[in-house]
């Protein structure tokens, strides 16, 4: 089966750092995506991890541990515009990008 867990909601203040966790149990695994989604809009690509470790891209970093079925997205120097849902998605190993999405974590950044 496929199961992806992430917190439903998180709050943080402008300028702070926040870590959004994702745990997964899936029948196949090729990689893990993080997407940002503002209400009523399309998911926007943030990161893609295949190997264990930390990938840094500007204010956003993503970590993966394949053996633990665990990933996190780290957002630094939070801005108001970072208020959005953050979607964790697992890519299976069928050879095509059938992504299985979590329910998303709604992040609210306050002044």
Partner 1 sequence: EPEVTQTPSHQVTQMGQEVILRCVPISNHLYFYWYRQILGQKVEFLVSFYNNEISEKSEIFDDQFSVERPDGSNFTLKIRSTKLEDSAMYFCASSEKNTGELFFGEGSRLTVL
Q: What angle do CA 15, 18, 21 make, to 5 degrees?
A: 165
CA distances from 36 to 41, 43, 60, 110 (A): 10, 5, 11, 18
Q: Which is nearer to partner 1, 58 or 111 (CB)?
A: 58
CB of 109 vs partner 1, minimal distance in Å: 21
Enumerate binding residues for partner 1 (CB under 8 A).
30-31, 33, 35, 40-45, 48, 87, 89, 91, 94-104
CB of 37 vs partner 1, minimal distance in Å: 8
CB of 97 vs partner 1, minimal distance in Å: 5
C-alpha 50/C-alpha 54 separation (Å) is: 10
Q: What angle do CA 86, 2, 23 make, to 5 degrees?
A: 45
Q: Which is nearer to partner 1, 24 or 35 (CB)?
A: 35
Q: Per DSSP, what are the bridge partners of residue 65?
A: 70
CB of 42 vs partner 1, minimal distance in Å: 4
Q: Which is nearer to partner 1, 13 or 44 (CB)?
A: 44
């Amino acid at each position: 089966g496929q199961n992806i867990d992430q917190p439903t909601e998180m709050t943080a203040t402008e300028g702070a750092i926040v870590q959004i966790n994702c745990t997964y149990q899936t029948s196949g695994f090729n990689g893990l995506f993080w997407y940002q989604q503002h209400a009523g809009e399309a998911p926007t690509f943030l990161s893609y991890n295949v190997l264990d470790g930390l990938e840094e891209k500007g204010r956003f970093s993503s970590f993966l541990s394949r053996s633990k079925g665990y990933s996190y997205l780290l957002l630094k120097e939070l801005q108001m515009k970072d208020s959005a849902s953050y979607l964790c998605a697992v890519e299976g190993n069928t050879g095509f990008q059938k992504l299985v999405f979590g329910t998303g974590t709604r992040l609210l950044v306050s002044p």
